[in-house]
């Protein structure tokens, strides 16, 4: 391991880092300008450039200082903040990914989809890891680990609303279930209605109403029969019936018998 002063323009982010935004950069930058860099980032040399293992906020703080330290009247350190001290060492891809996990997993501002992407990448890098083992790394239950991946299958506007707290993870899961029978257009229309009806209707009520109005959905609940049992349409038989009466089935004919014989032989 060796400490080096590396030009900012040849420092790249960790290739496994999916984080899109960084908070409180000016505050961190001013602390570095006044007190110096307390912990040096680690990086590896790849060709003629350097890849950070961790230290992405510090790099952005240096970039902020490089552009504005004079206007802010801050001390001139590190050659005008054009270079950043780093420990350079040989680092494997696995160790690079572990650096991202360590840097992100305990962040309070980690967005839901960021955590989901991090979990997905962790599974790709560690294909033998069980949900229980991954849960220990990310401090979550195994069932939660298994359920996070679905958020990345949602339309981008839904992911955005999930990340900014407009909708909950529970609502996002319901929209994902709806997505199996509805078009993306219907999903986005439902999302818009959830926002419009906030305070008047619960999100699950909005979703249920939207599903009821889908043309390709058959309601399996007989509202005219108050026995509380799901039925095969409004006038069908109860779906929990153990012994289905033959009188409820359509009459058999030669074509039906022939079709059933073909299915049995297949």
* Domains detected in the chain: 2-91 (3.90.1530.10), 105-149 (no CATH), 154-212 (no CATH)
User: Burial of 40 by CB count in 10 Å (0-12 exposed, 13-18 middle, 19+ buried)?
Assistant: middle
Q: Which pLDDT score is estimated for 224? A: 52
Give the rounded distance of the alpha carbon of 251 from its chain centre. Answer: 51
**Claim: this prediction has a pTM higher than 0.75:** no
Which secondary structure element, helix H or strand E, spans residue 124, and what is its range? helix 112-125
The vertex-22 CA angle with 159 and 102, nearest 5°, equals 90
Which segments in the chain show pLDDT lower than 50?
A: 222
Residues counted in the chain: 266
Question: Per-residue pLDDT tens for 169-178?
Answer: 999 999 999 9
Q: Which pLDDT score is estimated for 250? A: 64
Question: Per-residue pLDDT tens for 186-202?
Answer: 999 999 999 999 989 99
Provide the token pair at 209: 């109403």
């Amino acid at each position: 391991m060796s400490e080096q002063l590396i030009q900012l323009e040849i420092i790249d982010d960790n290739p496994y880092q999916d984080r899109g935004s960084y908070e409180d950069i000016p505050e961190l930058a001013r602390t570095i300008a006044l007190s110096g860099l307390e912990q040096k980032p680690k990086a590896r040399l790849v060709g003629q450039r350097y890849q950070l293992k961790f230290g992405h906020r510090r790099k952005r703080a240096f970039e902020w200082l490089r552009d504005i330290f004079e206007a802010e009247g801050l001390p001139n350190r590190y050659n005008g903040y054009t270079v950043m001290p780093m420990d350079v060492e040989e680092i494997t891809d696995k160790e690079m990914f572990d650096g991202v996990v360590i840097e992100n997993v305990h962040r309070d501002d980690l967005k839901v989809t960021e955590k989901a992407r991090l979990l997905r990448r962790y599974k790709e890098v560690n294909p033998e890891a069980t949900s229980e083992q991954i849960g220990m790394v990310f401090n979550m239950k195994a069932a939660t680990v298994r359920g996070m991946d679905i958020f990345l299958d949602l339309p981008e506007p839904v992911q955005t609303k999930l990340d900014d707290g407009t909708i909950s993870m529970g609502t996002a899961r319901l929209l994902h279930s709806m997505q199996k029978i509805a078009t993306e257009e219907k999903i986005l229309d439902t999302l818009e209605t959830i926002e419009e009806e906030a305070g008047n209707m619960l999100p699950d009520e909005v979703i249920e109403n939207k599903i009821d109005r889908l043309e390709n959905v058959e309601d399996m609940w007989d509202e005219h029969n108050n026995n509380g049992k799901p039925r095969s349409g409004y006038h069908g038989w109860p779906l929990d019936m153990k012994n289905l009466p033959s009188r409820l089935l359509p009459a058999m004919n030669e074509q039906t018998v022939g079709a059933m014989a073909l299915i049995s032989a297949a």
